[in-house]
Amino acid sequence: KQEVTQIPAALSVPEGENLVLNCSFTDSAIYNLQWFRQDPGKGLTSLLLIQSSQREQTSGRLNASLDKSSGRSTLYIAASQPGDSATYLCAVEEYNTDKLIFGTGTRLQVFP
Amino acid sequence: DGGITQSPKYLFRKEGQNVTLSCEQNLNHDAMYWYRQDPGQGLRLIYYSQIVNDFQKGDIAEGYSVSREKKESFPLTVTSAQKNPTAFYLCASTGAVDNEQFFGPGTRLTVL
């Protein structure tokens, strides 16, 4: 059974730092991996989608990488800002399922 | 604006009552999903539908029911059989191109 783990569970950093959030999954037979952001009491916002054939995706200050063989993905946030404070979730879609399996998230706080 | 809407934002229910949560999308997506989110836990899949007039149980379907009579709409009914219904409920949909999943703003259900 696929399991998705995110470490750390919480992270607090000063503004301007570059930081890395980690996501690991137990079964490498995935169709894609998606990173989301969730603000308190809100829905999820899609940040980046990496197909299984891709190694990374970039959007602005965000860069997500995927290493299927090791079952890992990282979300890199450059020059962090207080507005980046949120919970970040990763999710994998397995082949022929059309379903996402979510990690429990990393709660990020960026202080001025 | 294209997107997913959920209503109501907050919902209060007395024990023993059934309630229906609304989810509408104008993204022309075929697949739609209902998740439940509890504090400290990841998202758990309740039901999903890959096409009109068809739906499948997710991991925690007991005490819930759905219908998919129209492509745009996927309402979720929380029945009195659901023993612990207080939670944050999220609806999502997926396009056919790359399977990127998009979420609505959520409904917070509280049982009094």
Contact of A2 with A26, CB cutoff 8 Å: yes
Asked whether the beta carbons of residue B48 and residue A98 sit closer than 8 angstroms, the reply is yes
Q: What is the mean pLDDT of chain B?
A: 93
Q: What pLDDT, on a 0 to 100 scale, did the predictor assign at position B41?
A: 80
pLDDT in tens, A58-80: 999 999 999 999 999 999 999 99
Angle among Cα B38, B100, A107 to the nearest 5 degrees reads: 40
The whole-angstrom distance between residue B97's C-alpha and the CA centroid of its chain comes to 22
Q: How far is residue A5's CA from residue A95's CA, in Å, rounded to a whole number?
A: 19
Q: What pLDDT, on a 0 to 100 scale, did the predictor assign at position B40?
A: 77
pLDDT in tens, A76-107: 999 999 999 999 999 999 887 889 999 999 99
Of A49, A98, A99, the CB nearest to B100: A49
Of the pLDDT bands very low, low, confident and very high (cuts 50, 70, 90), residue B86 is: very high
Q: B41: distance to nearest CA of chain A, Å? A: 6
Of B98, B102, B106, the CB nearest to A51: B98
Helices (H) and strands (E) in chain A, counts: 0, 11
Q: Average pLDDT for residues B43-60, to the nearest whole number?
A: 96
Of B48, B50, B98, the CB nearest to A49: B98
DSSP state of B9: S
Integer CA distances (angstroms), A49 to A5, A86, B105, B109, in order = 17, 18, 20, 30
Q: Read off the amino acid at residue A50.
A: I
Q: Counting beta carbons within 10 angstroms of the beta carbon of residue A1, is it exposed (0 to 12), middle (13 to 18) or buried (19 or more)?
A: exposed
Question: Mutating which of A30, A99, A101, A106 best tests the B interface, going by the most B Cβ atoms within 10 A?
Answer: A99
Residues of chain B with Cβ-Cβ distance to A103 below 8 Å are: 42
Q: Where are the beta strands (DSSP E) in chain B?
A: 4-7, 10-13, 19-25, 31-37, 44-51, 54-57, 64-66, 76-78, 87-94, 101-103, 107-111
Q: B108: distance to nearest CA of chain A, Å? A: 8
pLDDT at B19 over 80: yes
Q: What pLDDT, on a 0 to 100 scale, did the predictor assign at position B97?
A: 74
Q: What percent of chain A has pLDDT over 70?
A: 100
Q: What is the mean pLDDT of chain A?
A: 95
Of the pLDDT bands very low, low, confident and very high (cuts 50, 70, 90), residue B99 is: confident
Contact of A27 with A52, CB cutoff 8 Å: no
Q: Average pLDDT for residues B41-51, to the nearest whole number?
A: 93
Helix or strand or coil: residue A83? helix
Torsion, Cα A13 A64 A74 A30, to 10 degrees, reads: 150
Q: What pLDDT, on a 0 to 100 scale, did the predictor assign at position B1?
A: 59
pLDDT at A25 over 70: yes
